[in-house]
């Protein structure tokens, strides 16, 4: 016998088995018990929340020969026929493929005949919003005054597309998204029935991935069971099958973003891609993670606002201390924009990389929240400047007081060679003559020299990951040497390096005033900011 999918195998066959729609189940069972049935019902809500299931149960209930507390008995001849799909008086119509006016005219002709068995002739029209305008018009009169033995049940996921004239003729029932707790409890129940062991954490993740849809959650669970046949389903196995990312990775990524470390962010993304993680799911989960941090930061009772385990809640509280509300709001905005773009994009990785760079470099944007983030970055850089304790005598009290003083950068043993000073004095003009992509990387770089040996070798230190493409690149080095020779009239040896990725420990910068004094032959003072000279 062929395999039956979980969502079909365990589809509820009575109202008691329906989960997460108590407000609808209670209303319908009360109507059935009191014999106050309507002639037209409209079931609307997101996918997988039970619209078609409840429609079929309602069709069985009104035709059941021995109803039990408003639910079908599932034992009489009518219940078995409807369950098997062989009943002549329960007609299911897919409006997506039967949306013309001729299809509705057939219904109008059929309703004139009484049901051959049972009490009601029930028409279940799924995805009713797909009907054409003329088909809706043809349905109006029949829907308003059908024969007493006819019932219409319309189901749709896009209620806004249904004409108001149809809405006014139906009893409308809005199906809610099913909670994670409800879905997880149902999944655990089905796994026990199937004899499959699974971690509670794994079940809850599948329930969360279902996004309020019981059918989606069951389909995902079916996939995981098929991949790890006859094995215990663990949290890591679920992540592997669904292409999802663990919360620990998000925590590590957030720290790198707050540090402005673009290189490390790209490395983390590279590891996820190599591990087979799906980028769309990654963006959605990272957005959800930032959302949870925001709720932890702003909610008085985060335990009630966030549906996570106590262990994960403690981790979220620790991570929430690292940043402020405005910064998290900016991150959510950037990631939300990315979610809309990535859905139909062919170069998804490029879009994700650009978004990560935006998160790390708030200066790339002009929004108010970006400005606030830029201020945060500047404050962090100021706080991270090295501080040494020096002893200062307080003349008024005659005692010793300790005052924190900014520690000046260690002065190099050797002065910068004259040729390199000329290069730095003309650095902007040199960079402007390089090719487009190379120029972009050089604009975020610093010319340096070996302060210990004083040798005339120009070290160009890239600040961003873009410089990786040019390290040990003979063409790039040759291009830069040719431009330097053309601008300053000297040939200089050039070495290209990336910050934090090289072994040169004695490099020193050539300040702008040093370079200009030697080349302009006049003394002037450049105002220092925060105890240091402006550098190129």
Q: What CATH code is carried by the domain that includes residue 165?
A: 3.40.50.300
The 8-class DSSP code of residue 179 comes to: P
Please name which of 354, 365, 353, 360 lies closest in space to residue 377, comparing C-alpha atoms.
360
19, part of any domain: yes
Please name which of 3, 8, 2 lies closest in space to residue 219, comparing C-alpha atoms.
8
Question: CA distances (Å), 426 to each of 420, 429, 488, 490, in order?
Answer: 10, 5, 8, 12
What is the mean pLDDT of the segment spanning 467-488? 86
Q: What CATH code is carried by the domain that includes residue 461?
A: 3.30.300.180
Does residue 244 surpass a pLDDT of 70? no
326, part of any domain: yes
Q: What CATH code is carried by the domain that includes residue 317?
A: 1.20.272
Which pair of tokens denotes residue 167? 């809405």
The 8-class DSSP code of residue 116 comes to: S
- CA dihedral of 228, 229, 234, 240, whole degrees rounded to 10: 10
498, part of any domain: yes
Residues 156 and 16 both lie in one domain: yes
Q: What is the pLDDT of residue 532?
A: 44
21, part of any domain: yes
Residues 167 and 187 both lie in one domain: no
Residues 50 and 166 both lie in one domain: yes
Of 171-185, 369-383, 508-522, the least confident: 508-522
Confidence of residue 88 (pLDDT cuts 50, 70, 90): confident
Task: Tell me the per-residue pLDDT of 293-350, one tens digit each, with 9 for 90 and over.
Answer: 898 888 888 777 776 666 677 788 888 888 888 888 889 989 998 988 888 888 889 9
Does residue 402 surpass a pLDDT of 70? no
Last residue of a domain, one of 121, 149, 174: 174
Using only C-alpha atoms, what is the Rg of the chain? Answer: 35
Residues 194 and 220 both lie in one domain: yes
Residues 152 and 109 both lie in one domain: yes
Name the burial class of residue 163, with classes exposed (0-12), middle (13-18) and buried (19+) by CB atoms within 10 angstroms of its CB: middle
Q: What is the pLDDT of residue 407?
A: 45
CA 304 to chain centre: 22
Does residue 271 surpass a pLDDT of 60? yes
- pLDDT, mean over the chain: 81
Q: What CATH code is carried by the domain that includes residue 199?
A: 1.10.8.60
Task: Tell me the per-residue pLDDT of 149-162, one tens digit each, with 9 for 90 and over.
Answer: 999 999 998 888 89
What size, in residues, is the chain? Answer: 536
Q: Residue 63 in contact with residue 78, Cβ under 8 Å?
A: yes
Residues 70 and 166 both lie in one domain: yes
Q: Residue 297 in contact with residue 329, Cβ under 8 Å?
A: no
Residues 56 and 127 both lie in one domain: yes
410, part of any domain: no
390, part of any domain: no
Residues 359 and 314 both lie in one domain: yes
Which pair of tokens denotes residue 473? 């690149």
**CA separation for the pair 410, 298 (Å, rounded):** 44
Q: What is the pLDDT of residue 41?
A: 94
Domain of residue 323 covers 273-378
Does residue 239 surpass a pLDDT of 90? no
535, part of any domain: no
Q: What is the pLDDT of residue 54?
A: 93
Residues 463 and 500 both lie in one domain: yes
Q: What is the pLDDT of residue 308?
A: 63
Residues 200 and 157 both lie in one domain: no
Q: What is the pLDDT of residue 373?
A: 67
Q: State how many domains the chain has.
A: 4
Confidence of residue 366 (pLDDT cuts 50, 70, 90): low
Q: Give the rounded percent of residues in the chain with a pLDDT score beyond 70.
A: 84
Confidence of residue 175 (pLDDT cuts 50, 70, 90): very high
1, part of any domain: no
User: Which run of H or of E encompasses 221?
Assistant: helix 214-227
Task: Tell me the per-residue pLDDT of 10-27, one tens digit each, with 9 for 90 and over.
Answer: 888 889 889 889 999 999
Does residue 536 surpass a pLDDT of 50? no
Residues 122 and 199 both lie in one domain: no
Q: Give the rounded percent of residues in the chain with a pLDDT score beyond 90.
A: 16
Residues 37 and 129 both lie in one domain: yes
Q: What is the pLDDT of residue 502?
A: 79
């Amino acid at each position: 016998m062929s395999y039956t999918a979980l969502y079909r195998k365990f589809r509820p066959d009575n109202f008691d088995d329906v989960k997460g729609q108590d407000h609808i189940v209670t209303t319908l069972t009360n109507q059935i018990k009191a014999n106050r049935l309507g002639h037209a019902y409209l079931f609307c809500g997101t996918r997988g929340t039970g619209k078609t299931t409840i429609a079929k149960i309602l069709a069985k209930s009104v035709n059941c020969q021995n109803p039990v507390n408003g639910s079908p008995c599932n034992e009489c001849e009518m219940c078995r026929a409807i369950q098997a799909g062989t009943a002549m008086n329960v007609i299911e119509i897919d409006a997506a493929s039967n949306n013309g006016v001729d299809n509705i005219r057939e219904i109008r002709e059929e309703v004139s005949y009484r049901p051959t068995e049972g009490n009601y002739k029930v028409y279940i029209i799924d995805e009713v919003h797909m009907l054409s305008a003329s088909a809706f018009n043809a349905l109006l009169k029949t829907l308003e005054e059908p024969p007493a033995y006819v019932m219409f049940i319309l189901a749709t996921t896009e209620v806004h597309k249904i004409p108001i004239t149809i809405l006014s003729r139906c009893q409308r029932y809005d199906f809610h998204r099913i909670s994670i707790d409800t879905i997880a409890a149902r999944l655990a129940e089905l796994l026990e029935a199937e004899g499959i062991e699974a971690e509670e954490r794994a079940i809850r993740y599948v329930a969360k991935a279902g996004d309020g849809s019981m059918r989606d959650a069951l389909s995902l669970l079916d996939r995981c069971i098929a991949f790890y046949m006859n094995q215990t389903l663990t949290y890591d196995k679920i992540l592997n099958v669904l292409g999802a990312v663990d919360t620990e990775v998000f925590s590590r990524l957030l720290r790198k973003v707050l540090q402005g470390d673009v290189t490390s962010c790209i490395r983390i993304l590279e590891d996820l891609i190599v591990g087979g993680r799906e980028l769309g799911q990654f963006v959605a989960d990272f957005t959800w993670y930032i959302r949870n941090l925001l709720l932890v930061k702003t909610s008085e009772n985060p335990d009630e606002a966030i549906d996570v385990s106590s262990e994960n809640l403690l981790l979220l509280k620790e991570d929430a201390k690292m940043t402020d509300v405005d910064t998290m709001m900016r991150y959510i905005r950037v990631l939300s924009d990315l979610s809309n773009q990535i859905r139909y994009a062919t170069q998804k990785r490029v879009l994700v990389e650009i978004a990560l760079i935006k998160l790390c470099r708030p200066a790339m944007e002009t929004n108010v929240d970006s400005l606030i983030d830029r201020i945060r970055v500047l404050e962090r850089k100021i706080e991270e400047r090295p501080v040494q304790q020096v002893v200062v005598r307080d003349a008024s009290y005659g005692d010793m007081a300790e005052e924190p003083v900014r520690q000046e950068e260690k002065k190099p043993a050797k002065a910068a060679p004259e040729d390199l000073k000329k290069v730095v004095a003309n650095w902007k003009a040199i960079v402007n003559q390089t090719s487009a992509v190379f120029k972009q990387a050089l604009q975020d770089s610093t010319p340096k020299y070996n302060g210990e040996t004083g040798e005339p070798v120009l070290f160009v230190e890239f600040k961003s990951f873009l410089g990786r493409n040019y390290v040990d690149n003979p063409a790039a080095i040759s291009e830069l040497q040719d431009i330097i020779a053309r601008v300053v009239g000297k040939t200089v040896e050039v070495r290209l390096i990336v910050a934090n990725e090289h072994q040169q420990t004695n490099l020193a910068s050539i300040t702008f005033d040093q370079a200009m004094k030697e080349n302009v032959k006049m003394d002037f003072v450049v105002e220092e900011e925060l105890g240091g000279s402006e550098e190129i």
